[in-house]
Amino acid sequence: MDELMRGRVYGADHDDPDPGPQPGHDYRELVGGPLDGLLLDVTGWPAERLSGGAALTTEIGRFGPGGHALYGPRAGAPQRWDWQGDAP
């Protein structure tokens, strides 16, 4: 988990002086795709939502502004969410 404490959090402002993870929060590492290497704050998410992954808004995916990058938990390593493709 210490390795997760060094990344940048998805959704943090580019000019945020501390865009990294915060103590007491729960994160998933995004692997592959346009958001590779970012951390997703999943603090307070119920188990069923965690198992379903997330569609995350991004301007740098296949569909450009307003598009989404789809990420879901990796089998055997649920702290890492793998890219599953892009959606409008």
Structural domain span for residue 47: 2-87
Q: What is the pLDDT of residues 32-86, one digit of tens each?
A: 999 999 999 999 999 999 999 999 999 998 999 999 999 999 999 999 999 999 9
Beta bridge partners of residue 29, listed in sequence order: 39, 80
Q: What is the pLDDT of residues 18-47, one digit of tens each?
A: 889 999 999 999 999 999 999 999 999 999
Which residue bears the tokens 């569909």?
63
Work out how many domains the chain is built from and give that number.
Answer: 1
